[in-house]
Amino acid sequence: MNENIKGTPLDYSDTKVSVYFEIGGIKLREIRQVIENIDLIDTIQYSEYGFEVMIPIQIIPEIVLQLTKEEIAIYAINRK
């Protein structure tokens, strides 16, 4: 892979990064239903205000789309 695109929106590799999603009004059951049905997520760690997942970078928009379909507000997305 071209090192210049690693970790950018042009990175279509299967390399996984840690991404934290801060969610408003935690709806744990709804979040689990959405997140656990998305392919390519290895680990999910839930916290008081959100969750952290190990995913390929190109999966971030899919997670956002699925959460917003369920009217789950996203307040921050941070790659670690």
- Total number of domains in the chain: 1
Residue 3 in this model has a pLDDT that exceeds 60 = yes
Distances (CA, A) of 1 to 14, 18, 25, 41, 73: 11, 19, 39, 21, 34
Residue 21 domain-assigned (yes or no): yes
Q: What digits encode the pLDDT tens for the residues 29-44?
A: 788 888 888 877 878 8
Residue 5 in this model has a pLDDT that exceeds 90 = no
Residue 1 domain-assigned (yes or no): no
Give the per-residue pLDDT at 15: 83
Residue 40 domain-assigned (yes or no): yes
Residue 74 domain-assigned (yes or no): yes
Q: What digits encode the pLDDT tens for the residues 53-77?
A: 999 989 999 999 999 998 889 999 9
For residue 36, the enclosing domain spans 13-54+69-79
Stretch 8-20: mean pLDDT: 80
Q: Helices H, strands E: what count in the chain?
A: 2, 4
Residue 43 domain-assigned (yes or no): yes
Residue 29 domain-assigned (yes or no): yes
